[in-house]
Structure 1
């Protein structure tokens, strides 16, 4: 996983060689874990823009904190789940090779 912040992105977020395939906005109440049943991976990266709230991201069994303003880039093949500690709002983007 790669981590940055919206503020650090300056002119914008890009992953050379990829384009957005799909995306959306999700809300999670405290205590919710995304994709709680079994492994959850993708063949290409997924980007989470944490718009508000706090939580933990589980990547291949490792756990890290996140907060509003963070940008999380989950690499292809990484098993990932978000865990909300407060109300969390995320924009997520599935990308594919350009």
Structure 2
């Protein structure tokens, strides 16, 4: 896991805003999530309902509002807050935990070598 602040991102006019901190020429998929107070994302997502969530590529979380923690490999919890950018490395089991008092709003995304299928004719 790597962490940054939004103001550390490069001022880019080509490519995507995360190109200097995660591999991939294009943002390939992602979304906006409004997490419930105290929610732990990806709980029991693994095969057969096991509590395991990993990717073969990097995933970025941009914390737009709120605070919470990122749990990595069930061993470490790292605090996050509005303005943080978190890069999850390939193979890291990860779970975003939203605070009870100030729930997280997050943009999550992956990058890759080709554009999203909706951007290709």
Question: With structure 2 as the length reference, what TM-score do the two structures score?
Answer: 0.75
Which of 13, 20, 23 aligns to 2:18? It is 13
Are 1:83 and 2:88 an aligned pair?
no
Q: CA deviation at 1:60?
A: 1.0
Consecutive unaligned residues in structure 2, runs of 5 or more: 12-16, 45-50, 115-121
Consecutive unaligned residues in structure 1, runs of 5 or more: none
In 1, the alpha carbon distance for the partners of 2:27 and 2:104 equals 22
Higher strand share: 1
Highest relative contact order (Cα 8 Å, sep 6+), 1 or 2?
1
When Rg is computed on C-alpha atoms for both structures, the one with the higher figure is: 2
- Cα RMSD of the aligned pairs, angstroms, is 1.5
Question: With structure 1 as the length reference, what TM-score do the two structures score?
Answer: 0.91
- Equivalent residue runs for 1:39-50 within 5 Å: 39-50=52-63
In 1, the alpha carbon distance for the partners of 2:38 and 2:6 equals 25
Higher helix share: 2
In 1, the alpha carbon distance for the partners of 2:84 and 2:22 equals 20
In 1, the alpha carbon distance for the partners of 2:109 and 2:7 equals 18
Q: Kindly report structure 1 stretches of 4+ aligned residues shifted beyond 6 Å.
A: none
